[in-house]
Chains A and B, each alone.
Chain A
Amino acid sequence: MTSSAVTPPLLQIDNLRTYFHTRAGLARAVDGVSLSVLPGETVGVVGESGCGKSVTALSVLRLIRPPGRIEQGSRIAFEGRDLLALGDEEIREVRGNRIAMIFQEPMTALNPVFTVGDQIAEVARVHAGASRKAAWARAVEMLTLVGIPAPEQRAGEYPHQLSGGMRQRVMIAMALVMSPALVIADEPTTALDVTIQAQILELLAGLQQRLSTAVLLITHDLGVIAEVARRVVVMYGGEVVEEAPVEELFAHAHHPYTEGLLAAMPRVGMERERLAVIPGTVPPPTAWPSGCRFRDRCSYAWDRCAREHPPLYPVGAGHVSRCHLADEPQRRARPHLPLAAEGGRA
């Protein structure tokens, strides 16, 4: 998905392939993903667990450890440089400084033996060479920014003394210390209560506006996407299967998987009593099916889907979909039980 000619993208991922070379086999967790983020934009990446969205996020900052490896031919351009070509020192300068990351589980993502103030201040000390006092002051400033009451006192506390919501605010504070151009948020609200979720999302949205930070938001929750994202990337089987502006996606979803995701969302005022479920399970990354990776769970699949791996077809303004239905839309009129459902037949 290329950007408009006017604004060059802040982040441009091209054909990213991150494979895990395990004893059980080669796991192609991310298999040719391309996406971009414009400055100040919020892009949501959505999909089930096992689709490769988290691995994509980690790959940007090169946080993939062996046996995982970003394969040759991948390119991640940020502020004009290929992050994958940088040396160790250079990539460290980007991390926490130009690109910051927020993780899912704030309890385990924060070091239990250091105070939260210490951990936030550390970023300033390492990247800005700030003195202890200056860094600490900045930490308190950040805690205020993320809406934590009594910040001077809180800064001296340990992670286990804070609630889940507060810990996530701390993580956000830690991410924003150096006013990064891009924040990657990997399932930032998944581990939180619903009410806290809403607060955190609000906070993120507000901060993003104030600081004009671009956000790459990874989540499995379409509801969160609807709230915050401007553009949505849907991933399945290590690939991008659909990409569209958010309203377009919700109104005119094209890919059967996206349809399934939307149908499975419980909504206020729904008539049906049971949630619609996508039959079958995500295939293992060591053995992606041939052709279209979703075909066994798809209600429209036909023989072409097994033979030919679908490319990303354009299906609207700024909207692409990896599905042969774009080529043969008449097939949509004849849905059937997916192969993965019991008794299904293509």
Chain B
Amino acid sequence: MGRYVVGRLVQAGVTVAIVATVTFALIHLAPGDPFTQALDDPAVSAEVRALWRAKYGLDLPLYEQYWRYLLNVARGDLGWSVTLHEPVSAALARALPSSLLLMGTAILLSFAAGIALGVVQAARPGSWVDRALGTVSLFFHALPEFWLALMMLLVFAYRLPLFPVGNVVDPLLYDYYTPWQKLVDRLRHLVLPSATLALLLTAGVARFQRAALLEVSGEDFVRTARAKGLGERRVLLRHALRNALLPVITLFGVTVPALVAGAVFVEKVFAWPGMGLLAVSAIMTRDYWLVTACVVVVSAMVALGSLAADLLYAVADPRLRAR
């Protein structure tokens, strides 16, 4: 088991390294170099420029720059954001927790709801409940995230003023709240964005869970369970589902890229100051180091998410545990 974990960690590391390399290559292949914009900025003093030259080895041949870049990344130095005028790591340190809160909430909600829906559908396949839920699922799965976000805003923030229209906390009043009010305020602001993200993912999870459960339901051991005199509920929830949850765990790892992609739009519409918003503005303003860092961090999140899913699977399936 230990060897398996180490092996997967190495794999994850390799993937992140590949992504970092590709990003580096892309940046240097692009017209202009990362520092043209900054270097032309008259506000930047000659000393700072010299400092940068030395630190990032701008005068060195490409492969040396690449090597330094890797070293820097490994050390946690992700460069300097020329638009935000601060180290990239500082900008990330601000944005990452917000994103994790949003994405974490969304993924938990979507898996809980998705699994439940999938079970309900698979319990009576072909029934009107199954078909209705299936169509609703299909609909939500097909929605553009930004559109759903806008519609949620329209209905729940504008037409029915239940929730705020954006941000993490109330920009004016937050500092004057009691701790309890602060918590409530945070939660109120979290609801719409995370619900939007969750709605999009739930459909996918439900479809998958339904299919997995139906497949397992055809297995011999389910027939044995019935032959033992167990009730349908117990057969479904204890014998079938326990096996059908396994593939859903792998889905967990695959969902993270979709989650991040959706988060980009949700953050924009709800003005949620997370990684997505950061990445988009960095790209728009051509803040290269920030872009690189965002892409690398995101791919690291994806790799870790997939790793976590694999580990969870290895623990959950007794056939793998013995190894």
Contacts and interface: CB of A to CB of B under 8 A. Distances in A.
Interface of A: 61, 63, 88, 92-97, 100-101, 103, 105, 108-114, 122-123, 126-127, 158, 160-161, 171, 174
Contacts of B225: 111
B4 interface: no
Contacts of B232: 88
A161 B318 CA distance: 10
Contacts of B231: 92
A88 B316 CA distance: 33
B228 A95 contact: yes
Contacts of A110: 221, 224
B219 interface: yes
B322 interface: yes
B28 interface: no
Contacts of B239: 111, 114
A127 B221 contact: no
Tell me whether chain B's interface is mostly helix, strand or loop, or mixed: helix
Contacts, number: 74
B228 A113 contact: no
B226 A63 contact: yes
A113 B227 contact: no
Give 7 nearest A-B pairs by CB, closest first: A95-B229, A96-B229, A96-B228, A108-B220, A111-B221, A101-B227, A109-B220
A95 B227 contact: yes
A61 B227 contact: yes
A92 B223 CA distance: 13
B127 to A, nearest CB: 12
12 contacts: A92-B231, A95-B228, A101-B227, A103-B224, A108-B221, A111-B225, A111-B242, A113-B243, A123-B228, A126-B230, A127-B229, A171-B224
Contact of A97 (B223, B229, B318): B229
A63 B227 contact: yes
B85 interface: no
Interface of B: 219-221, 223-232, 234, 239, 242-243, 316-319, 322
Given A112-B319, A126-B229, 6 more contacts: A63-B226, A96-B227, A103-B224, A112-B318, A123-B229, A174-B224
Given A158-B318, A160-B319, A95 B220 contact: no
A107 to B, nearest CB: 9
Interface centre among B229, B234, B318 (most CB of A within 10 A): B229
A55 B316 CA distance: 35
A63 B235 CA distance: 13
Contacts of A174: 224, 228
A94 B226 CA distance: 11
A174 B230 CA distance: 13
Nearest to A105: B220
A19 to B, nearest CB: 19
B213 to A, nearest CB: 14
Nearest to B239: A111
A112 B228 CA distance: 16
Contacts of B319: 112, 158, 160
A96 to B, nearest CB: 4
Interface centre among B219, B226, B234, B243 (most CB of A within 10 A): B226
Contacts of A171: 224
Contacts of A88: 232
A114 B316 CA distance: 11
B228 A126 contact: yes
Contacts of A94: 229
B242 A113 contact: yes
A109 B221 contact: yes
Nearest to B224: A109
A112 B243 contact: yes
B229 A108 contact: no
Interface centre among B225, B232, B317 (most CB of A within 10 A): B225
A108 B227 contact: no
Nearest to A177: B228
A113 B229 contact: no
Contacts of A122: 228, 230
A111 B243 contact: yes
Contacts of B234: 126
A161 B221 contact: no
Contacts of A113: 242-243, 316-318
A103 B225 CA distance: 11
A105 B219 CA distance: 11
Given A61-B227, A161-B322, A108 B219 contact: yes
Contact of A93 (B227, B229, B242): B229
Nearest to B231: A92
Contacts of A112: 221, 243, 317-319
A128 B21 CA distance: 64
B73 to A, nearest CB: 41
Contacts of A100: 227-228
B86 to A, nearest CB: 50
A110 B225 CA distance: 9
A126 B226 CA distance: 12
A101 B234 CA distance: 19
B234 to A, nearest CB: 8
A311 B242 CA distance: 49
A103 B228 contact: no
B225 to A, nearest CB: 7
A61 B220 CA distance: 15
A123 B239 CA distance: 13
A183 B72 CA distance: 71
A196 to B, nearest CB: 19
A100 B224 CA distance: 10
Nearest to B226: A63
